Amino acid sequence: MSRNRTARMTYIDSTDVARRNVKVLVAAQAILGAQMPISFVLGGLAGQYLSSNPCWSTLPIALIVFGSMLTAPVMSSIMQKYGRRTGFVIGVLGGIIGAALAATALWINSFPLFLVGSAFTGIYMSSQGFFRFAATDMASKEYQPKAISWVMAGGLGAAIIGPQILKLTHGAFDPTPFMGSYLAIIALNVVGVLLFIFLEIPTPKKPDANAPQGRSRMELFRDPQILIAMISAMVAYSLMNLVMTSTPLAVVGVGFETAHAADIVSMHVLAMYIPAFFTGHLINRFGVERIIALGLVILASAGAVALAGVDLGNFYLALVLLGIGWNFGFIGATTMLTAAHTEGERGRIQGLNDFAVFGMVTVASLSSGALMNCSGGSAQDGWTAVNLAMIPFLMLAGGALIWFVINGKKRV
């Protein structure tokens, strides 16, 4: 057998494995990911129910993200040393413990315990964040943007499954609200963890002592492509979280029902993931910088629609635009990042990237509750403050991206 034929067969086998892994990760994103819409819709509402101070109503959501931020570098190191599957199973255990503590907290009316449960849920959220990176591990350079997009598209299933479970279970243990939904999250984790049996990603080999060690963390941070990718991801994700976290509070606060809030968030999550079916193709065709820029423009449009009024139509349209803008901005930033580091550097930069992203999202989650409930006015005034807060961050990301393009840095 010739050397070229052997190389071709190896490439085909690798491609087949990459596609199988993507299917597993899509299913995991749909089934396990369904717990995240439930947690984010109920985090603020349960916080409002349990907390004596409404200003702290979104603290549970902030702690989910904070837990994710703290564990992202650790999770990345675990996956680099022991493999992706080990990290994903640890994430599922975090999800189970977090949901069990949250259900218990609602039963005994304990806000502090609910906060502890939220922090454990952050371990799962951190693990889920690496699904998109795992999709690229066995993929060719050309297939990587599509692999990321398909895995992110698995969130479409989560957008359908999660809110429907929420509507079916949130009153199952009345007069204790929401407890049934957290018990359902435990069941999702128990079922979803079985998917990782079929995941086939080799544990990275330990580098030889004489092999190149790759760039240090500071050298990685000085790479303009990595820096712009991180800024874009931080802004896209934090602004999406800022507005989405306050949406249930705003919807209920201006007189609509909890079911309306669940439906609006469901449409938002659909909008987050439906574009992922073609985002990878758009990146390959038009370039990653243009897609990130388009995402920022759409995020700005979401804020403009939200500021225009508090009718149900405004909420639906604003949250749909918010989801689409996040999709283009975040998938674009992830693609830019994965193209800027080597396999040996991924354990350093992927964890640091998610540490920075979820650190910014933690601030956004805390700010969301403060802006909504402590602005000194009505729910509509708080909603206005939330959406005005998007402006400086959009200017930051847009200005950084323009600088990157003008300076002629290499394109992905």
Name the burial class of residue 3, with classes exposed (0-12), middle (13-18) and buried (19+) by CB atoms within 10 angstroms of its CB: exposed
* Amino acid of residue 357: V
pLDDT attached to residue 5: 42
* Amino acid of residue 160: I
Q: Per residue in 162-179, pLDDT tens?
A: 988 998 998 888 888 999
Q: Per residue in 190-204, pLDDT tens?
A: 999 999 999 988 776
Q: Which residues of 340-368 are buried (b: 16+ CB within 10 A; e: fewer)?
A: bbeebbbbbbbbbbbbbbbbbbbbbbbbb
Instruction: Supply the pTM of this predicted model.
Output: 0.73
* Sequence-separated (6 or more) residues with CB below 8 Å from residue 249: 44, 45, 48, 57, 58, 369, 372, 373, 379, 382
φ, ψ of residue 269 to 5 degrees: the values are: -70, -35
Gyration radius (Cα) of the chain, Å: 21
What is the rounded end-to-end Cα distance, in angstroms, of the chain?
35
* Sequence-separated (6 or more) residues with CB below 8 Å from residue 99: 35, 117, 121, 182, 183, 185, 186, 189
Q: Per residue in 22-42, pLDDT tens?
A: 999 999 999 999 999 899 888
**In the predicted model, what is the mean pLDDT of residues 228-234?**
93
Instruction: Find where tokens 């190896």 sit.
Output: 10
Lowest mean pLDDT segment, chosen from 141-150, 180-189, 205-214: 205-214
pLDDT attached to residue 11: 41
Q: Per residue in 206-228, pLDDT tens?
A: 655 555 566 776 777 778 888 89
Of 356 and 316, more confident? 316
Cα 23 to chain centroid, rounded: 19
Domain 13-199+216-406's class? mainly alpha
pLDDT attached to residue 394: 95
- Angle, helix 35-50 to helix 155-169, in steps of 10 degrees: 40
pLDDT attached to residue 181: 95
pLDDT attached to residue 178: 93
Q: Rounded CA gap, 233 and 398, in Å?
A: 12
Of 217 and 349, more confident? 349
**DSSP result, 314-369:** HHHHHHHHHHHHHHHHHHHHHHHHHTTS-GGGHHHHHHHHHHHHHHHHHHHHHHHH
